[in-house]
Amino acid sequence: MTEKTKDARRTGSDRAKSAARKIVSATKTAGKKLGKAAARASDLNNDGNVDRQDAKIAAANTKRVASKAADKAGALAKKAGKHDMVKDAAAGAAIGAVVGIPLPVVGPVAGATIGAIAGVVKNMKSSGNRQGKAPAKKSRS
């Protein structure tokens, strides 16, 4: 081997090591910055520490949001439950689930689904509700 080839190899090896060191350094710096950002975002009471107090605040916020969502869902379900089509679908689902229990291929879930569909169809075919709309309110005269 010539002296020139050895120098070229060392230079290439040195360059690779240098690049690897730079990548490691950049990765460590990025990791530290991300860690600090995560700590700042998690410090909900701004006391400089991520501790149980921050967890309590996060739990309270989660509970508040979940409670509001549950209240909205309950109000929506209550409003929907007054509709005749929903009542017929629920009744059909209940009957279908009971009928589907002893049937090995059908089962209660499929039975409930089929029953709910049957309830909706029944509601749509009933007199005064041909298009699946809620019956018109009677006027107070």
Q: What pLDDT was estimated at residue 80?
A: 79
Of 139 and 38, the one with more pLDDT:
38
pLDDT (tens digit per residue) in 25-63? 999 999 998 988 888 888 888 888 888 998 899 899 899
Q: What pLDDT was estimated at residue 12?
A: 73
Q: What pLDDT was estimated at residue 77?
A: 82
Q: What pLDDT was estimated at residue 103?
A: 82
Work out the angle between the directed axes of helices 84-100 and 52-81 (0-180°, nearest 10): 100
Alpha-carbon gap, residue 51 to 67, rounded angstroms: 24
Distances (CA, A) of 118 to 27, 58, 84, 96, 129: 61, 45, 14, 9, 15
Residue 126: CB atoms within 10 A of its CB come to: 13
pLDDT tier for residue 24 given thresholds of 50, 70 and 90: very high
pLDDT tier for residue 135 given thresholds of 50, 70 and 90: low
Alpha-carbon gap, residue 112 to 99, rounded angstroms: 9
Q: What pLDDT was estimated at residue 30?
A: 92
Query: Burial of 78 by CB count in 10 Å (0-12 exposed, 13-18 middle, 19+ buried)?
Result: exposed
Q: What pLDDT was estimated at residue 140?
A: 55
pLDDT (tens digit per residue) in 52-110? 998 899 899 899 999 889 988 888 888 877 888 888 888 889 988 888 888 877 788 89
pLDDT tier for residue 23 given thresholds of 50, 70 and 90: very high
